[in-house]
Structure 1
Amino acid sequence: MNKSLKKQMSFFLIILCGVGSYNYFATRPMQNTELSLKAQEREREFTQKRAEYIQKNGDISPMEQRISTEFSLRKNPNLIEGTTSIIIDEANEHHKVK
């Protein structure tokens, strides 16, 4: 083997190892699962604290209901069609009151 062929082969092997390790780290499902579990835990804690607050202080305010609706729309965009008319109606009523 001449010197040029050795350089090309070593370059090819380095690139092959780099691409292989990149694919391994990029497609590991463990990290995504860990992040998802952490997010679910935070959401569960938030929901529990919110339920405790509602139990202590009564029902949530209309503003909190709107915020809750916005969060649910962000989680499930398929709900947008059914609720946009409600939001538009509320906005129109708000402008009529003034």
Structure 2
Amino acid sequence: MSYAPDLEFLERLLYASGPSGFEEAAEREGLPYTLHAHGRWSGTDADEVAKVREGIPTGIVSIPLRYMHSPVEMVDLKDVKRAVGLLAAFVAGV
């Protein structure tokens, strides 16, 4: 499987103030990533966070997987490590 972590953004907040901290962290560390914009909602808790007050810039880091919500859900360990590396780089840069 082995793909890059998927950086997801809610469309109404996408690039409101330039590239996200996640993108900057990935570029800084040389980590691969893909972008995905949601039109209205993502189906995650990020939807509610993004609506608070004036809107909180909200991003989602997803790990590529197969057979979600089933007993045989699969991920590639490389993808998990890349996502962890991306989150660590983001937090280190805050």
Q: Which bin holds the TM-score, normalised by the shorter protein?
A: under 0.3
> TM-score w.r.t. structure 2 length?
0.28
> TM-score w.r.t. structure 1 length?
0.27
Of Structure 1 and Structure 2, the greater strand share is in 2
Q: Which has the higher contact order (CA 8 A, sep 6+)?
A: 2
Of Structure 1 and Structure 2, the greater helix share is in 1
